[in-house]
Chains A and B, each alone.
Chain A
Amino acid sequence: MKRRQGWLFFIIFLLTLSVYLLINYPLQLGLDLQGGSQLTLQIIKEEGKVTRDELEAVNSVIDKRVNNLGVSESNLQTLGGDQLILELPGEQNPLVASRVLGKTALLEFRTQKEGTSTDLKTLQLQRLNIKELIEQYSFAEKSQNDNNLNVIQDDLKDIEQELNYSFTSNDLYGKLIEIKKYVDKEITNLFNKTDLSGKDLINAGRRQEQTNSNWEVLLNFSNSGGEKFAEITKSIAGTNQLLAIILDGESISEASVGNQFVNTGITGGSATISGNFSAENARELEVQLKGGSLPLPIEIVETNTIGALLGSKNILKSLYAAISGLIFVGIFMIFNYRILGFVSVLSLLLYGFFNLALYSLIPVTLTLPGISGLILSIGMAVDANILIFERIREELNDGNTLTRSIDSGFMRANSSIVDGHITTLLSCFVLFLLGTNFVKGFAATLGIGVLISLFTSLNCSKTILRFFTTYQSLRQKNLYLPRNNFSN
């Protein structure tokens, strides 16, 4: 009896601790419950597997970019060796994040090959034409003006002939994008690589140009980077060769280096890219350059967005489902098992508290599938109680005393309960190992639930039951067995 009293205090202690934990460390809610966006980024590697180092490197670049974007309370984690998951809580638009994060941001400095001035001029002119056509296209699409579209079609034909290019796309928009890529590539090919790259940057910034409303992006080189930059600019100063700044294979600026730099090159360790940036574009480029380039390209393969209102509705609905589940299970148990049923309801409540407290301790982020796992595990937690109570009932029917029946009921049901939960735990384990983020939540809560239920339904209900039976008035057999069970 003394040992049981110890357990009683232990359980009360655990309950107090759980309540304390829940008050002080509120539960973390997943995006489907609080609203927000989630982006899944897939690292692309043509051959072989993504190594741990590469994953780390990508992770740190993305992390820097996210921080520089000024997204509040974002959460970045790796998933399954070659994916990253970024969560943006609240009403933050995932569009900007996706634009900034998706780019490799490989910055290169290249010098023009000798004798390519005419080629470059032609290409630059066509690039400008194409850019205008793309703008006209989106305008024409909006205004539903078919004449304009025909004009664009004709202009595009001219460019096609001029460049001697043949299209693979069929639709107009696809053709525009295709020829833009082609021209960008051709321009880049007119320049020689140098050993100066985005790696030589220590910082980046942006400012508005003085003469107009455009923005420019400032680059600050490291010491060695500054020397390389001086060297490169010196080599082409005063010639008609240009210096190109190339981002992800697309030249964003081509500039000549003046005659005055012919002796020293451009010193001072900084450079400016002024290529008609809007405030937004300049900021995005700044963020990308500050974070450095990605060692491997990434692709955004999944985006989930959930409005805040929907999130709070989901919480409410889950709460209704959980509470009504609990109430109906409680009614069912009390109806069939009387006092024993009441004991199982008490252990279920304990079970709920312990579960939630553990979620805030580990911590487990609660998501909708997670909640369904928790609700489902309520039903499974009662399973163990039913096994035990059925044994107790049998013992009582055989004419054993109450204390004896309770003791042997718990003892004999023990092994089959543990046994029966193994298969469920096996499934949870596999789900947790192989599942996606979404599925992991379910596996985690169901698994934790099954484990805790072993403690609550074996130990807690036994302790509570023992406590009840210390009262003489609660020891009548008919409180444990519905009447009709005596007949046989």
Chain B
Amino acid sequence: MKYNLELIKNKRRIIGFSTVLILFSLLGILYSTFNTSYKKPINLGMDFVGGNETRIERVCEEACSNFSPDTVLQNLREISKNKKVLNNIKLQFQNKNKLISIRTPYLSIEESNNLISNLDNIVGPLNYESKDSRLIGPKLGKKLLTNCVTSLVVSLFAISLYITIRFDKKYALFALLALFHDLLIVFGIFSWLGIILSVEVNSLFAVSLLTIAGYSVNDTVVIFDRIRENLKSKKEGYNETIQLSVNESFRRTTFTSITTLIPLLSIILFGSYSLFWFSLALSLGIAVGSYSSILLAPSLLLKD
């Protein structure tokens, strides 16, 4: 099997496609910043703004009875001692009414326990063995956010430095362009997910961005290496050599991406819910990363 990607012919289309993707991401980020209730480029989750999230299962003999979240909240208001707790509360039933997920601003452990025992009185019995509760103070949230942003900046800087040392200017520039392209698109997709499905990002999202950065650069490096090697030895023209190199490493790049995507898809399908969005972000990043390594970055190298 020989691959024959017509890179030279399709240069405009590839760059056009990426431009559309980037515009789409920027649109999401802008819309999210100005037109949502949270006014942030991305819907920041509890890790970053603080709060309390509890997920707990109900014990049901057969099918769990149906409750509307509004009635439950109204009942909660009636029996709760501390009314303050009930501001900005979000309640959802999932998994055929079995799983309750409840979000509030930051509460103390005591307040959170009271809330759950009140909930138990309304929709109980609840299975405390299945409880998953997180309380994050607003101060820590801010600290985590700074922490994640610093990690991202530092590691992007380290990667940029590594690339600049390893390649000459032109290659380094395009490799980095491809990297930021990948990160921007994943970020943009999650901005849109936040707008449409209220998906929130937590510290694991920052981790996925960092991992994507490491991985995507890796792919680009391999292809650029091949191009450099071939430019030294081959007698064909500059553009043709680039296209040939891409086709030579096409199999290798797609295969490594596939073998990395397979375990991620297993986590999405079989793993815990807390890893779902994380694995999705990683999968998206790796898919976009392979696209940009194989098609975008080499296209940018092509001469008109």
Chain A interface residues (CB < 8 Å from chain B): 32, 35, 40, 42, 91, 94-95, 98, 138, 141-142, 144, 171, 173, 299-310, 313-314, 317-318, 320-322, 324-326, 328-329, 332-333, 336, 368-369, 372, 375-376, 378-380, 382-383, 386-387, 390, 416, 419-428, 430-431, 434-436, 438-439, 442-443, 446, 484-485, 488
Asked if A144 and B78 sit within 8 Å, CB to CB, the answer is: yes
User: In the bound complex, how far is the Cα of B210 from the Cα of A321, in angstroms?
Assistant: 22
Q: CB-nearest residue of chain B relative to A428?
A: B214
- Tell yes or no: B159 within 8 A of A by CB: yes
Is A427 a contact of B159 with CB atoms below 8 Å?
A: yes
Question: Mind listing 8 A-B residue pairs with CB under 8 Å?
Answer: A141-B81, A304-B133, A321-B266, A329-B263, A333-B259, A372-B279, A382-B259, A423-B214
A142 neighbours in B (Cβ, 8 Å): 79, 81
Q: Are A301 and B137 in contact (CB under 8 A)?
A: yes
Check if B211 sits within 8 Å of A324, measured CB to CB. Answer: no
Known interface pairs A302-B135, A321-B271; A332-B109 also in contact (CB < 8 Å): no
Q: Are A419 and B221 in contact (CB under 8 A)?
A: yes
- Which residues of the other chain, A, contact B274 by a CB distance below 8 angstroms? 32, 368
Which residues on the A side are within 8 Å of B132 (C-beta)?
A: 305-307, 310
Residues of chain A contacted by B135 (CB below 8 angstroms): 302-304
Q: Is the CB of A309 within 8 A of B218?
A: no
- Tell me the nearest residue of chain B to A44, going by C-beta: B139
Interface of chain B residues 91 through 136 with chain A (CB within 8 A) = 108-110, 112-113, 127-136
Does B260 lie within 8 Å of A434, measured CB to CB? no
Contact A301 B155 (CB under 8 A): no
Residues from chain A with Cβ under 8 Å of B158 in the complex: 426, 430
**A417-B300 Cα distance, complex, nearest whole Å:** 25
Is there an interface contact between B133 and A305, defined as CB atoms closer than 8 Å? yes
Query: Number of B interface residues, CB 8 Å?
Result: 74
| Contact between chains at A325 and B266 (CB < 8 Å) | yes
Which residues of A are found within 8 Å of B27, using beta-carbon distances?
Answer: none
Chain A residues whose CB sits within 8 angstroms of the CB of B221 once the complex forms: 419-420, 423
Interface flags, B66-108, vs A, CB<8A=1, else 0: 0000000000001111111000000000000000000000001
Q: Is B33 an interface residue (CB 8 A)?
A: no
Out of B134, B211, B260, name the residue touching A427 (CB < 8 Å): B211
**A-B pairs with the 8 shortest C-beta distances?**
A325-B263, A379-B260, A427-B214, A309-B129, A301-B137, A301-B140, A430-B155, A325-B266
Taking a contact as CB atoms under 8 Å apart, the answer to whether B1 and A484 are in contact is yes
Taking CB atoms and an 8 Å cut-off, the chain B residues in 188-234 that contact chain A are 203-204, 206-207, 210-211, 213-215, 217-218, 221-222, 225
**In the complex, what residues of B have CB within 8 A of residue A301's CB?**
136-137, 139-140
CA distance A138 to B110 in the complex (A): 14
Query: Does the CB pair B251–A431 fall under 8 Å?
Result: no
Shortest beta-carbon distance from A474 to chain B in Å = 23
Which residues of chain B are within 8 angstroms of A325 by Cβ–Cβ distance? 262-263, 265-267
B210 touches A372 (CB 8 A): no
How many Å lie between the Cα of A401 and that of B151 in the bound state? 48
Question: Is B255 a contact of A321 with CB atoms below 8 Å?
Answer: no
Contact flags (1/0) for B266-280 with A, using CB distance below 8 Å? 110111101100110
Q: Which chain B residues in 15-64 approach chain A with CB under 8 Å?
A: 56
Report how many A-B pairs have Cβ atoms within 8 Å. Answer: 223
Cα–Cα, bound, A372→B277 (Å):
12
Interface of B is mostly: helix
Task: Find out whether the CB atom of B222 lies under 8 angstroms from the CB atom of A380.
Answer: no
Q: Give Cα A8 to B269, complex, Å.
A: 37
Cβ–Cβ < 8 Å partners of A383 in chain B: 256, 259-260
Contact of B131 among A306, A333, A446 (CB under 8 A): A306
Q: A420-B222, A424-B218, A427-B211 are in contact. Are A372 and B267 (CB under 8 A)?
A: yes
Residues of B within 8 A of A424 (CB): 211, 214-215, 218
- A309 partner residues in chain B, CB cutoff 8 A: 127, 129-130
Q: A299-B137, A320-B270 are in contact. Are A423 and B159 (CB under 8 A)?
A: yes
Q: B150 contacts which of A307, A419, A434 (Cβ < 8 Å)?
A: A434
Q: Are A426's CB and B151's CB within 8 A?
A: no
Assess the B137–A431 pair: CB atoms within 8 A.
no
Q: How far is the CB of B35 from chain A (nearest CB, A)?
A: 31
B272 to chain A, nearest CB (A): 5
Distance in angstroms from A263 CB to nearest chain B CB is: 48
With A303-B134, A310-B131, A434-B147 as known contacts, state yes or no: A329 contacts B267, CB within 8 Å.
Answer: no
B301 an interface residue at 8 Å Cβ cutoff? no
Contacting residues, chain B, for A380 (C-beta < 8 A): 215, 260
Name B137's closest neighbour in chain A (CB-CB).
A301
A376 and B214 within 8 A (CB): no
Kindly list chain B residues whose C-beta atoms are within 8 Å of the C-beta of A42. 137, 139-140
B154 at the interface (CB under 8 A from A): yes
User: Is B287 located at the chain interface by the 8 A CB criterion?
Assistant: no
Within 8 A of A (CB), among B244-266: 251-252, 255-256, 258-266
Closest residue to B2 on the A side, CB-wise? A488
Q: Which of B1, B82, B270 has the most CB of A within 10 A?
A: B270
A376 touches B207 (CB 8 A): no
Which residue of chain B has its CB nearest to the CB of A422?
B162
Cross-chain contact B259 with A386 (CB below 8 angstroms): yes
Query: Is B295 an interface position by the 8 A CB rule?
Result: no
- A38 → chain B, closest Cβ, in Å? 9
Tell me how far the C-beta of B269 lies from the nearest C-beta in chain A, rounded to whole angstroms: 8
Complex CA distance for A435 and B144, rounded to whole angstroms? 8
Q: How far is the CA of A141 from the CA of B79 in the complex (A)?
A: 8
- Contact A173 B82, CB 8 Å, known A42-B140, A317-B270, A368-B274: yes
Q: How far is the CA of A436 from the CA of B56 in the complex (A)?
A: 25
B185 contacts the other chain (CB 8 A): no
Question: Are A314 and B272 neighbours in the complex by a CB distance under 8 Å?
Answer: yes
**Chain B residues whose CB sits within 8 angstroms of the CB of A431 once the complex forms:** 151, 155, 207, 210
With CB as the reference atom, state the residue of chain A lying closest to B107.
Answer: A303
Taking A382-B256, A434-B150 as given, write out 12 further A-B residue pairs in contact, using a Cβ cutoff of 8 Å, ordered by the A residue number: A171-B84, A309-B129, A332-B259, A375-B263, A379-B260, A420-B221, A422-B162, A423-B217, A426-B214, A430-B154, A446-B211, A488-B1
Contacts of B251 in A (CB 8 A): 390
Can you name the residue of chain A whose Cβ is closest to the Cβ of B213?
A: A427
Minimum CB–CB distance for B267 against chain A, Å: 5
Residues of B within 8 A of A303 (CB): 109, 112, 133-135
Chain B residues with CB under 8 Å of A419's CB are 221, 225
**Per-residue interface assignment for chain B, residues 141 to 161, with 1 indicating a CB less than 8 Å from any chain A CB and 0 otherwise:** 000100100110011001100
